[in-house]
A and B are shown apart, each in its own frame.
Chain A
Amino acid sequence: MKATAWIAINVFRESVRDKVLYNLVFFAILLIGASYLIGQLTAGQDVKIIKDLGLAATSIFGVFIAVFIGIGLVSKEVERRSVYSLLAKPIHRYQLLIGKYCGLVLTLIVNVSIMAAALYVVLAYMSWGVPPAAARIWDAPALDPALLKATALLLAELTIVTAIALLFSTFSTPMLSAAMTFGLYIVGHFTNDLRNFADLVDSPAAARLARGLSWALPNLAQFDVRADVVHGLPVSFGYMGLASLYAAVYVAMLLAISVLIFSRRDFK
């Protein structure tokens, strides 16, 4: 447990050394620039658009970090041959893998939290001095705490994306891993369409395959409640709990497969 925690902290430190957190600067510039420009372009929808933009940017930056760092978590160690010295230490392979995973998730948590805080600051600035009559047009208050629900579910989604990237990283090249992770990320948003597709095809075998894939592939669309939150629609804690539980189960399954592959891998 202690070894896993140390590995996680080291992954976090490494990502800070690799200037991963620089994306926060881009995020801040994007939001501040947009908040200045959007007010003049959107006919009173600036708060909605800043929320959409902030949450979408958080998601895009998060997915890019999860994929591009996740795919290098194991393959980089193998490439640099540092995996030999690591495995020579009294740690199990599963500890190394889980430590790496937790380290990247920690990086993502820090990243997403700072982005959420920055979004609230920009929204506070934009809603400052807005008369209550004008604020009534907004579907939800500017500083709506429900934005945190969207952020929390985004983090749950990113834990799955990270686990997918890590899984591919245990047996594939970084390029291929990135392509496959992005592919699964996109497919993960269409699992409901895949389920509907099963009703459209004539072939029972194709229908069974489509239905099977729709259940087996990660269902990432359920974590996207951004539009609901921006429009002030309720997102219940029950829904969040079930989605988070799904994420935990799916991550556990992916990590188990990753550990299985990694523990049988021959580094000679």
Chain B
Amino acid sequence: MRARSASAIVAAAVFAVMMVGASIELQAVRDRFYPPRELDEDTLYIQSGPMMRRLTVAYNALAADLYWIRAIQYYGDGKRRLASQARVPDPPPMIAAPTSDAYSMLYPMLDLTTSLDPRFNIAYRFGAVFLAEPYPSGPGRPDLAVKLLEKGLRERPDKWEYMEDIGFVHYWYDHDYRAAAEWFRKAGEMPGAPWWLRSLAATTLAQGGDRQSSRTMWEAIRQSSENDWLRLDAERRLLQLQALDQIDQLQAEIDKYARRAGAPATNWSTLVRARVFPGMPVDPTGTPYALDGGRVTVDPSSRLWPLPQEPRRADSRPPS
């Protein structure tokens, strides 16, 4: 009797496992013949922060966390997708994907996150970096980055880090050194702010746009950063500045060669054969530089791509 019931249990278990396997296989077959429609990840049904606060009743903070995770995924997916598009040849214009709405949901997601949890420090700071990054690494919206940080400042008016970040957005993305210096000055006057913010304000006003002052700013951010992500980002920016220095030197040699040979160099092997360079030059991450129409740039496969748009010198004047 007992043996029979044991065998019945085993048979039931085997049957259940077989059914699970069959259901998985059936789904795979169905997906093969009738591919599922792609989910529209770019939809935010509710974009009003106050409305969402009410809908989430007593669980605002948890909802903020979910929107934060969604914002990171959205930004990361968009960046990866656009980076992979950049490595393949451009499609004909009639089938090229529209790019104007790439990252269009990023600000609403960050706005919702910070409305649900107004003290979500990282959402303001990382969110501003995401928003300000130029296309295709980000939506290229420094105005929205500043708006997000100003929202954070309304919640926490003593937060010098947000002021520093606003200054940084003005410096690096807007190239508005006067505004940047003003925000660095304000940040430096807040209690607990590091001493170097005041000197950064002065340097920015005097030499904004200078590559050396950019290096000083990133080095300060790298050293003061409490977060791995921000520190790694600062290290990447420093490597980009190093790459810009190297590109200047390489370009000078290549231009010299072009003048000598009477035609621009089209590939590195020509330059190596002509003993202009001992080997194929590589960027600070070890990826070979690209040579396109006689101009040196970082390769799209490099971690440093795309290089930042070089800020204009603060003391430069438009040609009269």
The 8 A CB mask of A181-192 against B (1 = contact, 0 = none) is 000001001100
Question: How far apart are B166's CB and chain A's nearest CB, in angstroms?
Answer: 19
Question: How far apart are B145's CB and chain A's nearest CB, in angstroms?
Answer: 16
Stretch from A97-105, A121-129, A220-228, A242-250 that touches the partner: A220-228
Interface residue? A56 (CB, 8 A): yes
Interface residue? B229 (CB, 8 A): yes
Question: Which residue of the partner chain, among B62, B226, B229, contacts A53 with CB atoms under 8 Å?
Answer: B62
Question: Which residue of the partner chain, among A56, A136, A186, contacts B62 with CB atoms under 8 Å?
Answer: A56
Chain A contacts of B277 at CB under 8 A? none
Chain A contacts of B117 at CB under 8 A? 227
Question: Given that A56-B61, A224-B58 are contacting pairs, would A134 and B228 also be in contact in the complex, using a CB cutoff of 8 Å?
Answer: yes
Restricting to B108-139, which residues have a CB under 8 Å from any CB of A?
Answer: 117, 119, 121-122, 126
The 8 A CB mask of B228-240 against A (1 = contact, 0 = none) is 1100000000000
Interface residue? A263 (CB, 8 A): no
Please determine whether B54 and A190 come into contact, CB atoms closer than 8 angstroms: yes
Please determine whether A220 and B122 come into contact, CB atoms closer than 8 angstroms: no
Interface residue? B44 (CB, 8 A): no
Question: Which residue of the partner chain, among A59, A139, A220, contacts B119 with CB atoms under 8 Å?
Answer: A139
Question: Given that A133-B226, A137-B227 are contacting pairs, would A43 and B72 also be in contact in the complex, using a CB cutoff of 8 Å?
Answer: yes
21 pairs of residues in contact across A and B, judged by CB atoms under 8 Å? A38-B69, A41-B69, A42-B69, A42-B72, A43-B126, A43-B229, A48-B65, A49-B65, A49-B69, A52-B61, A53-B62, A60-B59, A137-B227, A186-B57, A189-B57, A189-B58, A193-B54, A220-B58, A221-B58, A224-B58, A227-B117
- A139 CA / B120 CA spacing, docked (Å): 10
Instruction: Count residues of chain A with CB under 8 A from any CB of chain B.
Output: 30
> Considering only CB atoms, which chain B residue lies closest to A53 in the complex?
B62
The 8 A CB mask of A28-69 against B (1 = contact, 0 = none) is 000000000010011111001100110010011000000000
Question: How far apart are A226's CB and chain B's nearest CB, in angstroms?
Answer: 6
Question: Given that A42-B68, A43-B126, A45-B68 are contacting pairs, would A139 and B57 also be in contact in the complex, using a CB cutoff of 8 Å?
Answer: no
Please determine whether A45 and B58 come into contact, CB atoms closer than 8 angstroms: no
The 8 A CB mask of B67-83 against A (1 = contact, 0 = none) is 01100110000000000
The 8 A CB mask of B89-125 against A (1 = contact, 0 = none) is 0000000000000000000000000000101011000
Interface residue? B60 (CB, 8 A): yes
Question: How far apart are B79's CB and chain A's nearest CB, in angstroms?
Answer: 14
Question: Which residue of the partner chain, among B61, B121, B126, contacts A227 with CB atoms under 8 Å?
Answer: B61
**Apart from A48-B65, A136-B226, A220-B58: 15 A-B pairs, beta carbons within 8 A:** A41-B69, A42-B72, A43-B72, A43-B227, A44-B228, A45-B65, A45-B68, A52-B62, A53-B65, A134-B226, A189-B58, A193-B54, A221-B58, A227-B119, A231-B119
- A52 CA / B65 CA spacing, docked (Å): 8
Please determine whether A41 and B229 come into contact, CB atoms closer than 8 angstroms: no
- A44 CA / B232 CA spacing, docked (Å): 13
- A263 CA / B121 CA spacing, docked (Å): 54
Please determine whether A44 and B229 come into contact, CB atoms closer than 8 angstroms: yes
The 8 A CB mask of B39-63 against A (1 = contact, 0 = none) is 0000000000000001001111110
Chain A contacts of B122 at CB under 8 A? 43-45, 137
Question: How far apart are A48's CB and chain B's nearest CB, in angstroms?
Answer: 7
The 8 A CB mask of B190-213 against A (1 = contact, 0 = none) is 000000000000000000000000
Question: How far apart are A117's CB and chain B's nearest CB, in angstroms?
Answer: 20
